[in-house]
Amino acid sequence: MVEGSMTQGAGQGPEVERTATLRDFRVPAYVNETGPYAHGAHPAETVRPAEEAYPDAYTPTERDLPVINRGDTVQVTVDPASVPAPQPANGPGPLYVVGDVHGYLDQLVQALQEKGLIDSAGRWCAGTARLWFLGDFTDRGPDGIGVIDLVMRLSAEAAAAGGYCKALMGNHELLLLGAKRFGDTPVNSGAGTATFQAAWLLNGGQKSDMDRLEDHHLQWMARLDAVEEVDGFLLVHSDTTAYLDYGDSIEAVNDTIRETLTRNDADEVWDLFRKFTKRFSFRDEGGADAVRSLLDTYGGTRIVHGHSPIPYLLGEVGSEDGEEAAGPVVEGPHVYADGLAIAMDGGVTMAGKLLVQRLPLDA
């Protein structure tokens, strides 16, 4: 496994048509944006650990993680007797986080219902609960736009019930935005000519998602925050220290990334995407120090991330030949880096598990 390798690649096979799901989620007309949220800024003077070692020719168009073909989406039966998430007598509701979804809408619906966050009709039923998605809604799976539609709708429903449903920006949101905005425009990749379109296809871009991508989806993705701190948990998408390049507070990072996207410069957006495809900063020797550098700067006592599938973090990689009888076994989040990091990407794209987890872990 190459240290700091990019998003796990997925060769572009036959086009994946939109798969029929148990329900068809639509965004109501009144959902235009999620609105600004208060940022808990925690500036601090820290010594940043040595940057991960990347080859000079590093570029996200290189596939160096194994490709594991999951096949089509799995239809699930929704249990109408799900129990709503527990509600506190007072104060904020329970906190939940969701790992990478990558277009697997049915698995997301099932996981949210198992936690009592949505009912049998796919509607928010968790009252004052707080739900955070850690990014990567599209690509590889069959219905990324359906996933975004669901998250946007739940955001409105949760807010009306006194809770919230919010989302962070993943590298695949940056990739989809870039593919839509810049297409085949050449960018300076540091290793020759690259394009967002080529990188999107290489990393599991689905024609069905691009065909259904509308302006309100693009606006929603472009406004997503990259970092948040909630109840002592620092929430990010990628297991990288690259966030430190964009500011010394949560507010500064989020503002810098939004400003970069607003300027709409292909090379700038590519550099942003490239940095957020980096991974494994917390895994090996020095990983705990890398986590501490982020916690010391932005606040929190533990970091929660997606991006790198737990089987890869554990070295349990699969075969491209499909010879293994079963996929990786993922029972829940992976805690590592001296207990400071919680990984939430259960590897749904490789027949793992789409994780929805209440925090703290012992709640």
Give the pLDDT confidence of 84-96 residue by residue, as tens digits. Answer: 777 766 779 999 9
- Strands lying side by side in the sheet with 164-167: 164-167, 130-133, 95-98, 356-359
Q: How many angstroms separate the CA atoms of 126 and 119, rounded?
A: 9
Residue 112 DSSP class: H
Q: Of 3-7, 30-34, 209-213, 231-235, which gets the smallest average pLDDT?
A: 30-34
The predicted model gives 295-316 an average pLDDT of 96
Q: How many angstroms separate the CA atoms of 290 and 14, rounded?
A: 40
Q: Residues, the chain, total?
A: 363
- Tokens representing residue 329 in the block: 């076994």
Paired residues of 164 in beta bridges:
130
103 touches 141 (CB < 8 A) = yes
pLDDT on residue 90: 73
Which phi and psi angles does 167 have, rounded to 5°? -145, 150
pLDDT on residue 93: 96
Q: Of 38-42, 64-68, 118-122, which gets the smallest average pLDDT?
A: 38-42
Q: How many angstroms separate the CA atoms of 174 and 207, rounded?
A: 17
Amino acid at 129: A
Paired residues of 203 in beta bridges:
10
Rounded percentage of the chain residues whose pLDDT exceeds 90: 68
Q: How many angstroms separate the CA atoms of 9 and 202, rounded?
A: 6
Of 295, 292, 314, 153, the C-alpha closest to 235 is 295
Residue 232 DSSP class: T
Paired residues of 10 in beta bridges:
203
The predicted model gives 233-261 an average pLDDT of 98
171 touches 276 (CB < 8 A) = yes
For the cut 90, the answer to whether the pLDDT of residue 313 exceeds it is yes
For the cut 90, the answer to whether the pLDDT of residue 48 exceeds it is no
For the cut 70, the answer to whether the pLDDT of residue 18 exceeds it is no
The pTM assigned to this predicted structure is 0.79
Q: Are strands 334-336 and 341-343 parallel, antiparallel or unpaired?
A: antiparallel
pLDDT band for 363, please (50, 70, 90 cuts): confident
pLDDT band for 5, please (50, 70, 90 cuts): very low
Q: Are strands 302-305 and 341-343 parallel, antiparallel or unpaired?
A: parallel
Paired residues of 359 in beta bridges:
95
Q: Are strands 233-235 and 228-230 parallel, antiparallel or unpaired?
A: antiparallel
Q: How many angstroms separate the CA atoms of 9 and 200, rounded?
A: 10
Query: Using one digit for the tens of pLDDT, what is the confidence trace for 137-189?
Result: 999 999 999 999 999 999 999 999 999 999 999 999 999 999 999 999 999 88
Paired residues of 303 in beta bridges:
234, 341
pLDDT on residue 69: 39
